[in-house]
A and B are shown apart, each in its own frame.
Chain A
C-alpha cells in the first residue's frame, strides 16, 4: 500500500477527479444538425404514408390504397363463406328455402325486420315448433327443429354479425335490411343468457320487440 501511495504522489494528475469545463458546441455544428433534422423530417413526411399501419411502399397514402381496394363491405364477403358452409344446406344458396320444409330467408319478415334481435336469437340457439313466415305456416306438426348455428362458441360475435349481415343485406339473398353489428349480437346474447341453450319457440320470440 505504501508503494502505491508513493506512486500516486509522484503522479498527482491521476489522483484528481476528472472534471468538465465549459466548452460550447460550435455554432456550425448546431446549424448542420438542424439542417439534417429538417431534411430527415421532410424525407419521412414524403415517404412514410402518414405512418399508417395499412400503407406500405410503394403506395403514398391511405387514400390511394383505399381507392385501389375492393368495394364489397368485408363482412358481407366473410358472411357469404360462413353461409355457404353452415346455412345453404337447408335454406339454399339463394336463401329461397324449400317450400313446406325449409323456410325462406329472402323477403322473410323474420329476417328483414328493422332490428335483428329475433334473428340473432334463432341463429344462436335454434328454433323448434311451428312458425309463420309472411303468413305461410311451416312445421305444423312441430317435429322439425332448426339446429343452433352459433352456440358452443363455434362463432364469435363478429363472425355471427358477418353471417347475419350477409343474410340481411346481400344481393345473393336479395334482402336489403341494415347490417348487424357485433355489439348487437353480444347484447342479444347477454339478454338471453339466463335461458340456457334451449331452442326458441315462435311464441317466445314474438315477445321480443324488433321495431
Chain B
C-alpha cells in the first residue's frame, strides 16, 4: 500500500464519474419535467391518479404483476404520410406535380383530391427523404400551395396495439415506483385502460384468467375476491361446470381502477403523431350482472 492516495483518488473518480453519469445528468436532463398540454386536445397529460387508482399501484406492486408485464412501448421508427392542405391558385399544376411524385394515383383521384378542402393525402407510408422530396416538388408550384407532413409511429409494439406511440419520460411523472418491467410473459400494459375498458372483464380475468383468455399462463388472483352477498361489481365466473359469483375486495377494486387508468397517452410535443389520434372516452361502467 505504498500508493494509498493514488488508489483512493482512482476509486473516488470512478465512483463520482458514475454518479455524474447515472444520477446527476439524467436529473438535469429530465428532472424538471411537468405534465404537458396534450397539444390540440386541450387536456393535460399525464393526469394525476386519484383514489382507488392511486392505491391500486401498490396492489399491482404487491401482486408482482411487473414480473410478467412491462409498461413501456417501444417505437421502431416513423413513417410519413404527405397531405395537401391547400391547393392554392394553380390547382391544375399542383395536380400535375402530385402525379409526377406519386404516379400510382390516377388522374381522376388526384383532381378530385385537389378539390377537397379537408386535406388530401397523396402519399402514404414513405420515409422522410421521400416525403420531403415530394413536399418540395409540390411546393415549387407556388401560388399558396400548402402541404403537411403526417408522422406515424411504427414498430412491433405499436403493430400489436400496445400503444399508439412510444413511451417517453413524461408519461411516468405520477408513477412511483415506476413499474417498467423487463419481462413480457404477458402483454405490455401501458395501454390496457384503452384496450380493455370494461371493469367486469378485468374482474373475471383476475379471478380465472383461463375463462376469458384461452391458454393464458397467468395465475388467478382469487385472494382479491370474496364470495360476499353484495351487488356492487359482482361478477359470475364459470369454471368447468361450476358457476362462481364473486365480489372484488377493496384491493381488487383498487387494482382494476389502476389498470383502467393505464393509458398510452395522447400526442405530446416529443412524440408527434397524426392529429386524428384521440384518447378513448373515460372508463366504462362495470357490467353489474356480470353477463358475458
B is a partner of A: yes
Q: Which of B33, B76, B151 contacts A68 (CB 8 A)?
A: B151
Tell me if B270 and A65 are in contact (CB < 8 A): yes
A196 touches B (CB below 8 Å): no
B178 touches A (CB below 8 Å): no
Nearest CB in chain A: distance from B154 CB, A: 9
B263 touches A (CB below 8 Å): no
Given that A58-B75, A58-B78 are contacting pairs, would A70 and B270 also be in contact in the complex, using a CB cutoff of 8 Å? no
Tell me if B2 and A53 are in contact (CB < 8 A): no
Interface residue stretch chosen among A17-25, A107-115, A131-139, A200-208: A17-25
Chain A residues 1-28 with CB under 8 Å of chain B are 17-20
A175 touches B (CB below 8 Å): no
- In the bound complex, how far is the Cα of B2 from the Cα of A17, in angstroms? 8
Q: Across the two chains, which residue of chain A brings its CB closest to B26? A: A53
- In the bound complex, how far is the Cα of B1 from the Cα of A171, in angstroms? 76
Tell me if B42 and A77 are in contact (CB < 8 A): yes
Given that A72-B40, A81-B43 are contacting pairs, would A56 and B1 also be in contact in the complex, using a CB cutoff of 8 Å? no
Which of B3, B37, B43 has the largest number of chain A CB atoms within 10 A?
Answer: B37
Nearest CB in chain A: distance from B16 CB, A: 19
Tell me if B44 and A55 are in contact (CB < 8 A): no
Tell me if A74 and B39 are in contact (CB < 8 A): yes
Tell me if A77 and B2 are in contact (CB < 8 A): no
| Contact code string A63-107 (vs B, CB < 8 Å = 1, else 0) | 001011110101101101100000000000000000000000000
Q: Which of A17, A56, A72, A78 contacts B271 (CB 8 A)?
A: A56
Number of A interface residues, CB 8 Å?
Answer: 24
Q: Which of A18, A57, A65, A74 contacts B272 (CB 8 A)?
A: A65
Given that A19-B2, A51-B29, A69-B272 are contacting pairs, would A59 and B42 also be in contact in the complex, using a CB cutoff of 8 Å? no
Q: Which of A59, A65, A75 contacts B37 (CB 8 A)?
A: A75
| Contact code string B74-109 (vs A, CB < 8 Å = 1, else 0) | 011110000000000000000000000000000000
- In the bound complex, how far is the Cα of B275 from the Cα of A81, in angstroms? 17
Tell me if B43 and A68 are in contact (CB < 8 A): no
Q: Across the two chains, which residue of chain A brings its CB closest to B76? A: A58
Number of B interface residues, CB 8 Å?
Answer: 28
Tell me if B2 and A80 are in contact (CB < 8 A): no
Give the number of A-B contacts (CB < 8 Å): 60
Chain B residues 244-292 with CB under 8 Å of chain A are 269-272, 275
Given that A58-B75, A58-B78, A59-B78 are contacting pairs, would A70 and B151 also be in contact in the complex, using a CB cutoff of 8 Å? no
| Contact code string B26-52 (vs A, CB < 8 Å = 1, else 0) | 000110010011011111100000000
Tell me if B40 and A53 are in contact (CB < 8 A): no
* Interfacial chain A residues near B272, Cβ < 8 Å: 59, 65, 68-69
B145 touches A (CB below 8 Å): no
* Interfacial chain A residues near B78, Cβ < 8 Å: 58-59
* Interfacial chain A residues near B39, Cβ < 8 Å: 69-70, 72, 74, 77
- In the bound complex, how far is the Cα of B271 from the Cα of A75, in angstroms? 19
* Interfacial chain A residues near B29, Cβ < 8 Å: 51, 53
- In the bound complex, how far is the Cα of B272 from the Cα of A30, in angstroms? 44
B169 touches A (CB below 8 Å): yes
Tell me if A57 and B2 are in contact (CB < 8 A): no
Nearest CB in chain A: distance from B42 CB, A: 3
- In the bound complex, how far is the Cα of B149 from the Cα of A155, in angstroms? 36
Tell me if B3 and A20 are in contact (CB < 8 A): yes
- In the bound complex, how far is the Cα of B2 from the Cα of A208, in angstroms? 77
Nearest CB in chain A: distance from B74 CB, A: 9
Tell me if B270 and A78 are in contact (CB < 8 A): no
Tell me if B3 and A80 are in contact (CB < 8 A): no
B205 touches A (CB below 8 Å): no
Nearest CB in chain A: distance from B248 CB, A: 32
B69 touches A (CB below 8 Å): no
* Interfacial chain B residues near A17, Cβ < 8 Å: 1-2
Which residues of A does B touch, CB under 8 Å? 17-20, 51, 53-59, 65, 67-70, 72, 74-75, 77-78, 80-81
9 contacts between A and B (CB under 8 A): A54-B270, A65-B272, A69-B269, A70-B40, A75-B37, A77-B37, A77-B42, A78-B42, A81-B43
Task: Add 12 more A-B contacts to A54-B269, A58-B76, A65-B272 (CB < 8 A).
Answer: A53-B29, A53-B169, A54-B270, A58-B75, A58-B77, A58-B78, A69-B269, A72-B39, A72-B40, A77-B40, A77-B41, A78-B42
Which 4 interchain pairs have the tightest Cβ spacing? Answer: A81-B42, A68-B272, A74-B37, A54-B270
